[in-house]
Amino acid sequence: MIMDYSKAKKLGEREYRRRLVKGQYPYLPSLEEMVSGVDRMPEISLGLAEIPLDMVVGTRTTGRQNAFAANFMPLVGEDSEFAVKWSNLYDSQVEEGIRDPVKVYEFMNRFYVQEGNKRISVLNYVGAVSVLADVIRIRPPRTDSEQSRTYYEYLDFYKVTKSFEIVFSAPGRYNQLARILQQNLQDPWPEDLLEKLHAGFIAFKDIYLARGGQKLNLTVGDALLIYLSVYSLDSLTREGRDVIGKRLAKLRQEYIAASQPDRIALIESRKDAETTAKKLPISKIPVPVLPRQAYSPAHPLRVAFIHEKNPDDSGWVYGHMLGMNHIKEAFGSIVETICFYNCSSDEEIREAFDTILAENCRVVFTTCDSLRPHALRFAVEHPEIRVLNCSVNQSTHALRFYYGKMYEAKFLLGALAASMEDDHRISYLAGRQDATAIPNINAFALGAQLIDPYCKIVLQWIDSEPRNDSLSAQAAEKRTKKISMFSDVDMIRPEEPVRRYGVYELGENGEQKRIAAPIWNWGMFYELVVRKVIDGTYDSMPASRKDYSLNYWLGLESGLIDIIVSDDLPRPVYRLFELLRKGVMEGRVSPFEGVIYDREGGMHGREGVPLTTAEIMSMDWLAENVCEAEQKQ
């Protein structure tokens, strides 16, 4: 009907004027104008598929793009042949539906129409949510940009799901979604899961956008991922709109934090950690918190620790247990602690948090990154309890994070080891492959290179704990071709028979000469946090940072990390160590300052400028003087 065409044209003219006022392009964007060389990029036919209509954003060529405003509503006059054809399509849609598929090109998660602009216009006008399309994918060249890495991760996701609708804005998130749903990006996902994911996404999208989600700098996929980090996929199809809406309200601060990933408040010194709340006028975080109370032996502050392993098997857990013992000594009977070991399954972790609630604990420390999703879920549901997770550079609001700059110590240990070796080679035995492992290896390598420009770091990944006979001194020597200088794991238990840790020299007869070892002083941090809870300043933040994610990231200067060195070090070596140590602690020496080359010849950083925190924690490259150890035959 021509009357409906007139209504659609008014919508187009309104969008046209709105964009002109904002200085934006008022017509449909054309892919061939937007992307230089798009005609030379590989094209892959994906066949017929139902695609989300809101992801169709422009035209493939410049053809008739000016006939439509940017919202696909028409701009051509009512007395034109164009208007008649549009009206006929509208009548067909009302009577029997538009059945002929459109032809579109998919480029970087968006669709551009080659044939069927008027069909897309009519479907948008009637409020359709999807359209049948013959889809051709244009594959852009792979680069190291965040956008390219995210898209190529999406291509892996598409192979196992054939889904177009879930779009993320940063790399790693498709992998994160797969982990949450207990899948991977290599094997096809079960059909029943894909149906549930599609239904859950549609339900979530409707509620999220109805509550103003489009105002945040997040895709619907980003927001869904945050939801699934706290609540189950089943809840989206099982629960009513009101329940899901209330959950979204609880997650509001998480969405704000995620939409501003650069708004992470890094506390990098002990002084800042102790006085953060005193620097600027105070503004209480707008979440329900308990009134300040006086803790006493009769009413102690209860503090809980949740560990993935136990101190008998894990030096990491043993170190945190020493930190827990420290706060017992520091606060006496006004603080009680409760500890949960071997929390590796969902059931064990849920039982631990249920007990924490029953025992009225007010502070919870979760001591490894694998516990982060459960800790976040608990923190969102119970904002009156202070919950922290031992990982770094995270952007959530309800949960605080803490970790140490172990790479500072590794830099010094690398310099020490290089000053003692005599064949330009050091063996580096690395444990768990997590976000801190690569910076630690690179810092050690750069410290060694600073002293010996020809020094090679022979890297071998090992199972970090428990140690066994496969890592005997003889086996390690064989795998590293008689290298005498070793950097081994950082932590052991006093009862552990294997005594290889830190940096040591291996003699011809297998005897070990200890040079130095890093140590964690978790008690320092746990005392700081508990003291802030007791004195009522933990929940205070400067007004300018109330929406920030808070990360404690402390180094040598704070005392969280230290290095013990052998009394037998030659005096010149000890003097060199102290000079470097002082420089790092005072901020005059940075392990990652200047131009750094990786093993493939790539260049990182700029001369005279240290790498940023984000650059350090996202390292996926190894320094040029790191090589792999030969495997045991």
3-class DSSP assignment, residue 233:
coil
**In 3D, which of 422, 417, 419, 381 has the Cα closest to residue 399?**
381
CA-to-CA separations, 335 to 475, 526, 537, in angstroms, rounded = 47, 12, 17
Exposed / middle / buried, residue 536 (Cβ in 10 Å: 0-12, 13-18, 19+): middle
Number of domains in the chain: 4
Do 224 and 330 fall within a single domain? no
317 in a structural domain: yes
- Residue 487 sits in a domain whose CATH number is 3.40.50.2300
Q: Which structural domain range is residue 4 located in? A: 1-140
Do 340 and 273 fall within a single domain? yes
Do 196 and 80 fall within a single domain? no
CA–CA dist 152, 154 (Å, integer): 5
CA–CA dist 410, 179 (Å, integer): 31
Residue range 240-250: mean pLDDT, rounded: 93
514 in a structural domain: no
331 in a structural domain: yes
Do 395 and 410 fall within a single domain? no
> What six digits make up the tokens of 42?
């590989």
DSSP states along 502-531: SEEEE-TTS-EEEEEEEEE-HHHHHHHHHH
516 in a structural domain: no
511 in a structural domain: no
Cβ neighbors of 261 (< 8 A, separation 6 or more) are: 170, 395
**Pairing relation of β-strands 301-306 and 363-366?**
parallel
DSSP at 481? T
In 3-state terms the chain splits into helix, strand, coil percentages (rounded to 5) of 45, 20, 35
Domain boundary among 74, 109, 140: 140
pLDDT band at 159 (very low <50, low <70, confident <90, very high): very high
Do 195 and 323 fall within a single domain? no
Do 64 and 125 fall within a single domain? yes
Q: How far is CA 266 from the centre of its chain?
A: 15
pLDDT at 633: 32
pLDDT at 88: 93
Do 531 and 466 fall within a single domain? no
298-302, 420-424, 501-505, 541-545: lowest mean pLDDT where? Answer: 541-545
Domain boundary among 110, 140, 170: 140
pLDDT digits (tens, 9 = 90+) for 390-446: 987 677 888 999 999 999 999 999 999 999 888 899 999 887 777 788 999 999 999
271 in a structural domain: yes
Average pLDDT, the chain: 87
Do 305 and 383 fall within a single domain? yes
Do 369 and 335 fall within a single domain? yes
pLDDT at 631: 46
3-class DSSP assignment, residue 544:
helix
Do 361 and 395 fall within a single domain? yes
Domain boundary among 261, 293, 311: 261
pLDDT at 545: 61
- Residue 24 sits in a domain whose CATH number is 3.90.1530.10
Do 254 and 352 fall within a single domain? no
For residue 610, give the amino acid letter. P
Phi, psi of 264 (to 5 degrees): -110, 120
pLDDT at 493: 56
The interaxial angle of helices 81-95 and 2-21, nearest 10 deg, is 110
User: Within a 13 Å sphere around the CA of 535, how many CA atoms are in the beta-carbon half?
Assistant: 12
Helix intervals (H) in 105-190? 117-125, 146-161, 173-180
615 in a structural domain: yes
**In 3D, which of 385, 415, 562 has the Cα closest to residue 487?**
415
For residue 381, give the amino acid letter. E
Do 346 and 273 fall within a single domain? yes
DSSP at 72? S
94 in a structural domain: yes
CA-to-CA separations, 429 to 264, 319, 434, 625, in angstroms, rounded = 32, 20, 14, 15
Q: Is the pLDDT of residue 497 over 90?
A: no
**In 3D, which of 402, 394, 351, 404 has the Cα closest to residue 373?**
394
> pTM score > 0.85 for this model?
no
pLDDT at 472: 43
